[in-house]
């Protein structure tokens, strides 16, 4: 399950008579949903266990953003949307950061689904209102789904199995599904952002286009100040109808939240040290190791801390674009991994802080391991003719070096793999049919140049002509949206309950859809089949087994060159910004559950 946006789907034929029947519902109206079993918190719970219900309200918060923005509509692939827009849009339900897959009532006060998962119904809270005072209606809910599917490929894929809806009175809506058994679909419909139909349907407006107009909103914050491209400020709404709901107690504490834009991350870090920014998640091992020896940190005026979470680290890696024919070969992709010296990089560039990633679901029970289990074999064996033979062997492990910088043995292995793919050395260049093997690494963070440069040197020893190109965020987004690159660095976040979003990550249907997240360009029938097994899992164990099988196939095909992950979050923030003592299991909850101390 993924929190939208920034999923693809192959619609299957379904029994049309489902839309004409009254489904049998699994239960009466419920206060929440869980993917398997019941949500942990009972009806009428006081608040989420990780919030501080007595957190003070007030104060202001400044957060750095990189690049620029020209759009207040994050539901289109066009333009560059401002940071923080998620603050202004509420959803039908809201998740708990202590549960892997649960949703509790927000705009919808109650929910129920058909026993066969052919539909889900939501009952809206009669008090729900937009920021302009108008009521949130089932027409707004229906419009939100329809308009979002038209406007953005993520939603079009994420909700592709939603084939229709029925309205039963002013506060109840039922969504019908194209096939039965998709247990996650009721959950992710609860993630639907609710937009005002009358506003977005007005002449001259389209959710598919960019806009700098400030809309009426359903969330706890509204846009208070705009300096296009430079800064955006959100104001906590005093008239927010849901501020006293149990799911909001201890949340939305800070009055004003401003995102300030900087040209690059180096400038943003300097702004933090100068007191112009209040909070920073540190993603640079070098900066974390060497950049915080300041008087403010030493005195405790600035807090520098790590927070360990229990969620999956997911996968970050070098994505080699399979739409480029030279990368659409399993031997080539494996060879590129053998040329990477992670151990040297960790020792000399990372200050020993990272571990190599070996799974698309790193650090969770969902990770493949060893040889396939009996359950995995039941899924993989029917696909054997579509899988690399090594899929059934012990799981591939990333090459290891002694960190000396001498990787001649690994380069010999890489050269042999290239030869299997028809690439040989001629006049010092790796060539095939007279064409030299080239790679352009497209970067948006200049800090990555020092990390990629040693890899390029190793590739040169194989006769590969590789180069770096760093471009601004706007250019980068445009090229990524249209899959116009040889190689990029990408992260694929994963929840502990993967589902429909996996279609957008890896499915054939998503490979050529602009604005999607199949950045690799995978078109693999075995992967497609395993995604469906995962989505239609009937139990937690079936989900774990299907996910491990999918992970194994992705790894065995060398669809990405894994990079690294940190064991914890690295945070720096100025004294006065505070968080709960007991953090949630699966997220920082920033800035929603944080607060500013009274001065």
Domain map of the chain by residue range?
16-229+569-596, 315-565
Is residue 82 classed as helix, strand or coil in its secondary structure? coil
Classified as helix, coil or strand, 355 is strand
Residue 474 near residue 297 (C-beta atoms within 8 A): no
Q: Is the confidence at residue 400, as pLDDT, over 80? A: yes
pLDDT digits (tens, 9 = 90+) for 565-576: 998 999 999 999
Query: Percentage of the chain surpassing pLDDT 70?
Result: 95
Whether the Cβ atoms of residue 452 and residue 441 lie closer than 8 Å to each other:
yes
pLDDT greater than 80 at residue 126? yes
CATH topology of domain 315-565: Dipeptide-binding Protein; domain 3 (3.10.105)
pLDDT at 20: 36
What mean pLDDT comes out for the span 444-470? Answer: 96
**Is residue 532 predicted with pLDDT exceeding 90?**
yes
The predicted model gives 188-212 an average pLDDT of: 96
Q: What would the two tokens of residue 255 be?
A: 């009055």
pLDDT per residue as tens digits for the range 409-424: 999 999 999 999 999 9
Strands (E), 1-91: 32-34, 60-66
What are the φ and ψ backbone dihedral angles of 222, each rounded to 5 degrees?
-135, 160
- Give the separation between CA 145 and CA 314, rounded to whole angstroms: 28
Do residues 529 and 383 touch, judged by C-beta distance below 8 A? yes
Beta strand segments in 237-391, E: 256-262, 279-281, 302-307, 315-320, 355-356
- How do residues 259-307 score in pLDDT, each as one tens digit? 999 999 999 999 999 999 999 999 999 999 999 999 999 999 999 999 9
pLDDT digits (tens, 9 = 90+) for 534-554: 999 999 999 999 999 999 999
Residue 117, token pair as written in the block: 């998962």
CA 141 remoteness from chain centre: 24
d(CA 587, CA 50): 11
Distance, CA of 526 to CA of 382 (rounded, Å): 9
C-alpha to C-alpha distance for 327 and 485, rounded to whole angstroms: 12
409: its two tokens: 């043995």
Strands 561-562 and 231-236: unpaired
pLDDT of 436 reads: 98
Contacts (Cβ under 8 Å, ≥6 apart) of 381: none
**pLDDT of 14-33, one tens digit each?**
333 333 344 566 569 999 99
H or E segment to which residue 409 belongs: helix 408-420
Cα 542 from chain centroid (whole Å): 23
Q: Which of the four pLDDT bands, split at 50, 70 and 90, describes residue 12? A: very low
The predicted structure's pLDDT at residue 14: 31
Q: Tell me the two tokens of residue 473.
A: 């965020």
HSE toward the beta carbon, residue 283, CA cutoff 13 A: 10
Which CATH number applies to 16-229+569-596? 3.40.190.10
The widest CA-to-CA distance across the chain, in whole angstroms, is 76
Buried b vs exposed e over 561-578: b needs ≥16 C-beta within 10 Å?
bbbbbbeebbbbbbeebb
| Cα-Cα-Cα-Cα dihedral sign, residues 124, 129, 135, 141 | negative
Q: What is the 3-state secondary structure (H, E, C) of 126-191?
A: CCCECCCCCECCHHHHHHHHHHHHHHCHHHHHHCCCEEEEEECCCCEEEEEECCCCCCHHHHHHCC
Q: Do 419 and 335 touch, CB atoms closer than 8 A?
A: no
Write out pLDDT tens, residues 53-103.
Answer: 999 999 999 999 999 999 999 999 999 999 999 999 999 999 999 999 999
Residue bearing the bigger pLDDT, 363 or 2: 363
Whether the CA torsion 505, 511, 517, 518 is positive or negative: it is positive
- Work out the pLDDT band at 447, boundaries 50, 70, 90: confident
Task: Record the tokens describing residue 292, joined without a space.
Answer: 């915080």
Q: What is the mean pLDDT of the chain?
A: 94
Asked if 158 contacts 189 with a C-beta cutoff of 8 angstroms, the reply is no
For the segment 510-526, the average pLDDT, to the nearest whole number, is 95
Give me the mean pLDDT over the 336-349 stretch.
98
Using the predicted structure, report yes or no on whether residue 2 has a pLDDT greater than 70: no
What's the Cα-to-Cα distance from 58 to each of 51, 55, 421, rounded to whole Å? 16, 10, 62
d(CA 589, CA 307): 12
- Tokens 């084939």 correspond to 163
């Amino acid at each position: 399950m993924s929190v939208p946006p920034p999923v693809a789907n192959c619609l299957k034929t379904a029994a049309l008579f489902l839309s004409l029947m009254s489904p049998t519902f699994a239960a009466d109206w419920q206060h929440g949903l869980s993917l398997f079993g019941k949500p942990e918190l009972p009806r009428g719970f006081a608040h989420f266990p990780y919030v501080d219900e007595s957190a003070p309200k007030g104060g202001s918060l400044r957060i750095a953003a990189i690049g620029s923005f020209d759009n207040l509509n994050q539901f289109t692939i066009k333009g560059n949307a401002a940071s923080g827009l998620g603050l202004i849009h509420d959803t039908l339900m809201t998740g708990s950061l202590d549960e892997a897959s649960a949703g509790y009532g927000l705009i919808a006060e109650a929910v129920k689904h058909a026993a066969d998962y052919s539909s889900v119904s939501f009952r809206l809270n009669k008090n729900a209102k937009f920021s302009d005072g108008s009521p949130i209606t089932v027409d707004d809910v229906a419009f939100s789904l329809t308009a979002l599917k038209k406007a953005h490929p993520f939603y079009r894929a994420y909700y592709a199995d939603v084939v229709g809806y029925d309205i039963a009175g002013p506060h109840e809506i039922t969504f019908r599904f194209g096939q039965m058994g998709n247990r996650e679909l009721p959950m992710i419909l609860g993630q639907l952002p609710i937009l005002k139909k009358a506003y977005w349907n007005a002449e001259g407006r389209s959710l598919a286009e960019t806009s700098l107009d400030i809309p009426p909103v359903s969330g706890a914050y509204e846009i208070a100040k705009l300096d296009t491209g430079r800064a955006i400020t959100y104001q906590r709404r005093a008239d927010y109808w849901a501020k006293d709901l149990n799911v909001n107690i201890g949340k939305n504490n800070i009055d004003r939240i401003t995102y300030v834009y900087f040209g690059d991350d180096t400038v943003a870090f300097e702004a933090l040290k100068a007191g112009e920014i209040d909070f920073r998640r540190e993603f640079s091992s070098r900066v974390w190791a060497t950049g915080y020896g300041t008087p403010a940190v030493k005195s405790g005026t600035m807090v520098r801390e790590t927070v360990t979470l229990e969620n999956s680290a997911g996968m970050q890696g070098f994505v080699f674009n399979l739409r480029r024919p030279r990368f659409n070969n399993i031997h080539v992709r494996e060879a590129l991994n053998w040329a990477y010296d992670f151990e040297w990089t960790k020792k000399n560039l990372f200050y020993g802080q990272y571990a190599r990633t070996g799974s698309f679901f790193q650090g969770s029970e969902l990770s493949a391991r060893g040889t396939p289990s009996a359950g995995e074999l039941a899924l993989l064996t029917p696909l054997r003719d579509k899988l690399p033979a090594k899929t059934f062997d012990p799981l591939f492990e990333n090459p290891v070096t002694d960190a000396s910088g001498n990787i001649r043995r690994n380069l010999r292995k890489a050269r042999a793999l290239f030869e299997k793919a028809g690439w040989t050395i001629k006049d010092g260049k790796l060539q095939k049919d007279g064409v030299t093997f080239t790679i352009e690494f497209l970067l948006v963070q200049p800090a990555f140049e020092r990390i990629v440069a040693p890899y390029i040197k190793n590739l040169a020893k194989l006769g590969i002509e590789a180069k770096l190109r760093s471009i601004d965020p706007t250019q980068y987004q445009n090229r990524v949206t249209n899959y116009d690159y040889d190689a990029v660095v990408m992260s694929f976040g994963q929840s502990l309950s993967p589902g429909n979003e996996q279609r957008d990550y890896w499915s054939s249907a998503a490979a050529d859809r602009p604005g999607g997240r199949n950045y690799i360009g995978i078109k693999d029938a075995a992967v497609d089949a395993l995604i469906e097994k995962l989505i239609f899992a009937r139990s937690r164990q079936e989900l774990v087994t299907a996910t491990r099988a999918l992970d194994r196939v992705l790894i065995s095909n060398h669809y990405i060159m894994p990079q690294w992950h940190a064991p914890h979050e690295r945070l720096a923030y100025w004294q006065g910004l505070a968080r709960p003592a007991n953090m949630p299991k699966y997220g920082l909850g920033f800035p929603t559950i944080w607060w500013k101390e009274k001065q």
